[in-house]
Chains A and B, each alone.
Chain A
Amino acid sequence: MLEILIVGAVSSAIYAMLAVGFTLIFGVARVLNLAHGSFYALGAYGAYWLTSSLKWPLLPAALASIGAVALFGVAVERVFVRPMRSSQLAVLMITLAVALVVEQALFLTFGSEYRNVPGFVDAKVTIGGVDVAGSRLLALAVSVVVIAALWLFIQHTRLGSAILAISQDAQAAQYVGIPSDRIFSVVMGISAGLAAAAGILAGPFLSVQPTMWLLPIVKAFAIVVVGGLGSIPGSIVAALMLGYAETIVAYAASTSWTEIVSVLATLLMLVVRPAGIFGRRAAF
């Protein structure tokens, strides 16, 4: 029971990091960025490359990787997303193509084998009789801290207010002088950074290989829609629901059924209450 609680929490935390970034960019720019999974992959690969090829210590490597991916996110927004923003489908398709290019680049550079992102913590921790890898607990802790920090940032800074304003009414925000284009880039950078951080945290105990971007983005898509497109609290709640649903099914039945349960739950939610838990009108 305790084990389910802990493992479920870790899964939910990683999903939440991914979903929050995804929903942020949707809430603000009303685009679905399928390259989001690529940011996750690039974060992990960046840390891998810096630590194994350039022999950097882990913390600087992690921070550098997050920074680089954030900049890459900004670049993707400027070059590919901005000109296409008029059509949601166009942005979907081009970010998908970007994701494919990134996947192939990773294949060609690093090969198809699974790569190793070193963990910050190597030890094993025993909580109430349950053996948990230290790296998992760290992932949980850092995710909570980061999301909390993001929340505070949005609620209490000027930039955060600007983001809130744009997500509520983009045109009105522009009327009061908020530079929406610049904000989009910043939000994309934050979103990419969050995904990269998730990749670095999860890398030590999950798989790091070139196709690692697809499954997370499908899950993030489901979480974000179930939680309510554009709503951060919604994404967090939905991430918890999904993480726990999967964990409970895995322990109770078998891992083969986890995906069906979460997908079925998503489908049900869409049929019953398409606007998601928190609805799509409420942004934050």
Chain B
Amino acid sequence: MPADHSGLSSPSLPHRAAVALGAAALALGLAAPPALAQGKPIRIGVPTAMQLQVGRDTQDAIKLAIDDINAKGGVLGRKLEMVVADETENPETGISAIKKLTADEKVDVLVGGYTSGVTLAQLPHISAAKTIYLGVGAASPAITQKVKQDYDNYKYIFRVGPINAANQARELTGFIANFVKGELGISKIAIVGENAKWVQDLVPVLKKGATDAGADIRVTEFFDTQTADFSPLFSKVKDSGAQYLVVILSHASSDTFAKQWYDSRFPMPYGGIDVKSMDGDFCDRIGAKSVGQMAANFAVRAPLTPRTIPFFDEFKKATRRSPVYTAFGANDAVYIYADAVKRAGSTDTAKVIKELEKTNYMGIPGVIQFDEMHDVKPGNASYKGPSFLLAQWRDGCKREVVYPKTQRTADFKYPSWIKQ
């Protein structure tokens, strides 16, 4: 090349040819013939709280389902693939996660969710993106109410799990009526819940149901999610004369609550909805101080359905952890979506929604069907849908199902320091 002192050099011929070839390749790539689109993978967007256990388990459960489906040939000849976006517990990040997945990554379906507040914030943006959303972690009834109020805009929203807070309240009422009063003979009850909207909506229903069943609700207290010191709360509960403490905890410091209950040898047993207590290692994490606590679980390693035990074992084998509740919904959601797409014959949103509404799938916690609000139907005496079981932590950090009686694996045992 001739010496050039201007600091610039004109591209030489081979250089230009390379650029032209590159441009041609790009053009070809962008204008891929439609026939190739058939093999294009189906993309599942996962908005979840990546740094939390619920987020990790959501991703791992989806991965298990995807690997299984892909190994069997995929869906309509197309493989499934997963794209994750962190929604944290902050609505702002949650909304931008939805936008990233729908507008940027152009996913075909969304599976995920955890905090009700974040999910509620995301709804209008999911609707604007006209993408199907299968919720696996948020329990607020408000999420699916929109489906009924404004079907055209919100028909994309489904909840695969957990059963919504109102249903959970009903189950908890049953627990109080049939077990706490019915079997233990305790009618003086205290209710303590964290300051979250779904809890605040749930408690009045709970109180009414329990009172109708003959329970005497001595005190109802809400506390801030960030509370680290529960002594004032414990003191109030003790002074009220209650003999059983019903709790409703999700984001709050359940670990600290259990530790303080144990450390002060609080003179009454406690139990109820405690999301963190669903973690397999909850009891170990706090030095076995939750032994005696009864916590609701949406599924445990028991033959609730033919899917339950195989899933628990597969999950444990792949991740060496015990799955938390979002894993059940996530895993089921992938299969449910895949089946709906197969039946619809394409990923066309409207067709898939029609098929999703007809879902009848043997899931992990129970049979999964959707009601008119696209909300998972809870189980009852005649229908084997998901419900919840109350399991008690026992010595050695083992869990035994105590309620309902039909699923009982062991009898209730009082905490060691309570004489009964």
| A positions within 8 Å CB-CB of B | 3, 7, 11, 107, 111-116, 118-119, 122, 124, 131-136, 204-207, 209, 215, 247, 250-251, 254-256, 259
Contacts and interface: CB of A to CB of B under 8 A. Distances in A.
B233 to A, nearest CB: 6
Given A204-B259, A205-B256, A256-B224, A251 B264 contact: no
Contacts of A119: 263
A133 B223 contact: no
B232 A255 contact: yes
B226 A132 contact: no
B223 A256 contact: yes
A134 B281 CA distance: 25
Interface string B228-268: 11011101100000000000000001111001100111100
Contact of B223 (A11, A111, A207, A255): A255
A266 B223 CA distance: 22
A133 B285 CA distance: 19
Given A3-B231, A112-B51, 7 more contacts: A7-B232, A107-B51, A116-B255, A116-B285, A133-B260, A136-B263, A205-B229
Contacts of B53: 111-113
A118 B254 CA distance: 17
B263 A133 contact: yes
B231 to A, nearest CB: 5
A162 to B, nearest CB: 37
B221 interface: yes
A261 to B, nearest CB: 13
A124 B263 CA distance: 6
A259 B227 CA distance: 10
Interface residues of B, number: 33
B260 A205 contact: yes
Contacts of B279: 113
A190 to B, nearest CB: 26
B260 A254 contact: no
A256 B235 CA distance: 15
Interface centre among A113, A204, A250, A255, by most chain B C-beta atoms within 10 angstroms, is A255
7 contacts: A3-B235, A114-B256, A116-B285, A131-B264, A136-B263, A205-B260, A250-B232
Contact of B222 (A115, A122, A254): A254
Nearest to A121: B263
B259 to A, nearest CB: 6
Contact of A114 (B221, B222, B255, B266): B255
Contacts of B281: 113
Contact of B226 (A11, A116, A215): A215
Among B53, B229, B255, B266, max chain A CB count under 10 A is at: B229
B11 interface: no
Contacts of B266: 131
Interface of B: 51-53, 195, 221-224, 226-229, 231-233, 235-236, 253-256, 259-260, 263-266, 276, 279, 281, 285-287
A113 B284 CA distance: 12
Contacts of A131: 264-266
Most buried by B among A111, A116, A206: A116
B239 to A, nearest CB: 10
Contacts of B286: 114, 116
Contacts of B232: 7, 247, 250-251, 255
B233 A206 contact: no
A256 B52 contact: no
Nearest to B252: A207
Nearest to B234: A131
B265 A124 contact: yes
A243 to B, nearest CB: 10
A258 B208 CA distance: 29
Nearest to B52: A112
A107 B279 CA distance: 18
B231 A207 contact: no
B259 A205 contact: yes
A250 B229 CA distance: 10
A134 B255 contact: no
Contacts of B254: 114
B260 A207 contact: no
A136 B234 CA distance: 15
Contacts of A256: 195, 222-224
A206 B52 contact: no
Closest 10 CB pairs of A and B: A133-B263, A250-B232, A114-B255, A206-B228, A255-B223, A124-B265, A112-B52, A207-B253, A251-B232, A7-B231
Contacts of A254: 221-223
Instruction: Among A131, A206, A251, A259, find the residue whose CB has the most chain B CB atoms closer than 10 A.
Output: A131
A255 B252 CA distance: 13
A189 B224 CA distance: 34
A163 B278 CA distance: 51
Contact of A118 (B222, B226, B287): B287
B224 A255 contact: yes
A176 B253 CA distance: 52
Contacts of A118: 287
Nearest to B231: A7
A25 B207 CA distance: 52
Contacts of B51: 107, 112
